[in-house]
């Protein structure tokens, strides 16, 4: 579909090449259930389910109404070279209990959209091939050294020299992993990751602006990609293994053990502050590591964490580095294409995604606007919090007609 095609004709073309998986993607981005969308377009949930499964195809008029209700261009529903959803594994979310299914569906849809945008840009710019070491670790083995061995394998295969790891986000991007920030509307969902046959993806929380904690998040999600391709996400053992992987990747036992405190007396807090800056990890991560390696007793660790809480450092530790690591893979691609005369608007039209979401996915920095720029679509109140649409609302296009079937 050419961008110069009259709007009514674009709707007809979208109906002819309609892909139900794209409707599911848009519905999840909007944070809607099938019944919610059915109410918006005046149809039954059964009809929506049939369109999404491919059992039935909506008419051009209904496609127009769906586009209006979901605030996307009709071309969003057109079939793509790859079905991202079918090619993607179940994402690893930190806590399944505290996050509603609606919020998880929305977050996963955003990640899939990011992979889709990356695949579209790859038609013009060459990205690094995915190169993620595979070291499966069984969730049945709670006390084995699998996570540590997996982290050591990554350090070896990726050529990470002894000492503190460098720019982690750049390291992942150089090995073909897509790293993007989530939109501010989805800030209730912590960092998460998933694999796909196109490229693996790590989605970072947009309001978590702590350099040291962000690095641990990145290492944690890398651990899932390396160890848990077949593991059920969200379990305590799986998350604990990813934590241990991150700790070993950032603070290898043979290099950090003797540097960690064995007691909490004397100038220990000054020592921890210095180690924090040297290794690029939080004081809490260092204490966790000291306890895990047997340097600190459980009692000393608990007392140290009580001090952390009393000082208000649980969420706001003092540190020298205030700027978080930034992804650059997609942003640089857009910049290079712009220099070659390919305007951003052309890339957005090629991807057929809402401009705001395209810019969020391809940004180097997280969106600082914590509020939606326009009135949100109807959303649902869940135990995990309000799920707000990621699709901005627009004025009703003149070409749209009432859906008739």
Query: Taking the domains of the chain in order of start, what are their residue ranges?
Result: 1-79+375-405, 83-250+322-371
Which of 38, 1, 71, 127 lies closest to 357 in space, CA to CA?
Answer: 71
3-state SS, 49-83, equals HHHHHCCCCCCHHHHHHHHHHHCCCHHHHECCCCC
Torsion (CA) 332, 354, 101, 199 in degrees, nearest 10? -30
pLDDT tens digits for the chain (405 residues)?
455 555 567 788 888 999 999 999 999 999 999 999 999 999 999 999 999 999 999 999 999 999 999 999 999 999 988 888 778 888 888 766 667 889 999 999 999 999 999 999 999 999 999 999 999 999 888 889 999 999 999 999 999 999 999 999 999 999 999 999 999 888 888 999 999 989 999 999 988 889 999 999 999 999 999 999 887 787 889 999 999 999 999 999 999 999 999 999 889 999 999 999 999 999 999 999 999 999 999 999 999 999 999 999 998 999 999 999 999 999 999 999 999 999 999 999 999 999 999 999 999 999 755 444 333 444 443 434 578 899 964 434 333 333 333
Contact between 381 and 401 under an 8 Å Cβ cutoff? The reply is no
pLDDT of residue 378: 45
pLDDT of residue 81: 86
Instruction: Give dist(CA 70, CA 41) in Å, integer.
Output: 10
Cβ atoms within 10 A of the Cβ of 64, count?
Answer: 26
pLDDT of residue 397: 39
Residue 390 CB partners (closer than 8 Å, separation 6+): 29, 30, 31, 106, 110, 183, 185, 186, 357
DSSP conformation class of 127: P
pLDDT of residue 208: 86
Packing angle, helices 283-292 and 236-250, rounded to 10: 100
Superfamily holding 1-79+375-405? lambda repressor-like DNA-binding domains (1.10.260.40)
Instruction: Give dist(CA 385, CA 185) in Å, integer.
Output: 11
Instruction: Give dist(CA 232, CA 164) in Å, integer.
Output: 31
Residue 298 CB partners (closer than 8 Å, separation 6+): 291
pTM, two decimals, is 0.89
Cβ atoms within 10 A of the Cβ of 99, count?
Answer: 21
Contact between 61 and 18 under an 8 Å Cβ cutoff? The reply is no
* 3-state SS assignment for residue 149: helix
b/e for 125-155, b at 16 or more Cβ within 10 A? bebeebebbebebebeeeeeebbbebbbebb
pLDDT of residue 83: 82
Cβ atoms within 10 A of the Cβ of 47, count?
Answer: 19
Helix or strand (DSSP H, E) at 203: strand 201-204
Which of 199, 193, 184, 1 lies closest to 118 in space, CA to CA?
Answer: 199
Instruction: Give dist(CA 288, CA 216) in Å, integer.
Output: 12
Instruction: Give dist(CA 328, CA 27) in Å, integer.
Output: 29
Instruction: Give dist(CA 16, CA 112) in Å, integer.
Output: 23
Which of 63, 31, 30 lies closest to 48 in space, CA to CA?
Answer: 63
């Amino acid at each position: 579909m050419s961008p110069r095609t009259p709007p009514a004709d674009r709707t007809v073309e979208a109906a002819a090449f309609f892909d139900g998986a794209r409707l599911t993607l848009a519905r999840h981005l909007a944070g809607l259930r099938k019944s919610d969308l059915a109410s918006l377009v005046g149809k039954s949930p059964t009809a929506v389910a049939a369109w999404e499964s491919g059992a039935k195809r909506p008419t051009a008029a209904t496609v127009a109404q769906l586009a209006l209700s979901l605030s996307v261009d009709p071309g969003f529903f057109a079939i793509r070279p790859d079905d991202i959803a079918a090619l993607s594994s179940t994402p690893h979310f930190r806590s399944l209990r505290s996050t509603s299914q609606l919020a998880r569906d929305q977050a996963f849809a955003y990640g899939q959209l990011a992979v889709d945008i990356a695949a579209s840009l790859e038609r013009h710019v060459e990205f690094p091939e995915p190169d993620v070491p595979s070291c499966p670790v069984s969730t049945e083995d709670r006390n084995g050294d699998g996570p540590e061995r997996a982290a050591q394998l990554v350090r070896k295969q990726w050529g990470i020299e002894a000492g503190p790891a460098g720019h982690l986000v750049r390291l992942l991007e150089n090995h073909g992993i897509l790293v993007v920030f989530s939109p501010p509307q989805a800030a209730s969902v912590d960092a998460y990751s998933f694999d796909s046959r196109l490229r693996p993806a790590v989605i970072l929380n947009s309001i978590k602006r702590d350099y040291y904690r962000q690095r641990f998040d990145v290492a944690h999600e890398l651990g899932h990609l390396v160890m848990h391709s077949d593991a059920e996400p969200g379990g305590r053992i799986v998350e604990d293994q990813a934590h241990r992987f991150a700790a070993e990747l950032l603070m290898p036992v043979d290099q950090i053990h003797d540097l960690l405190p064995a007691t909490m007396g004397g100038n220990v807090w000054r020592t921890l502050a210095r180690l924090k800056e040297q290794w690029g990890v939080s004081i809490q991560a260092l204490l966790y590591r000291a306890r895990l390696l047997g340097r600190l007793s459980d009692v000393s660790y608990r007392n140290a964490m009580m001090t952390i809480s009393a000082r208000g450092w649980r969420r706001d530790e003092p540190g020298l580095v205030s700027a978080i690591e930034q992804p650059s893979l997609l942003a640089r691609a857009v910049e290079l294409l712009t220099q070659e005369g390919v305007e951003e608007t052309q890339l957005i039209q090629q991807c057929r995604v809402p401009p705001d979401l395209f810019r969020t996915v391809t940004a180097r920095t997280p969106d600082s606007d914590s509020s939606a720029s326009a009135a949100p679509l109807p959303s649902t109140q869940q135990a995990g919090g309000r799920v707000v649409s990621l699709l901005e609302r627009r004025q009703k296009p003149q070409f749209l007609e009432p859906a008739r079937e």
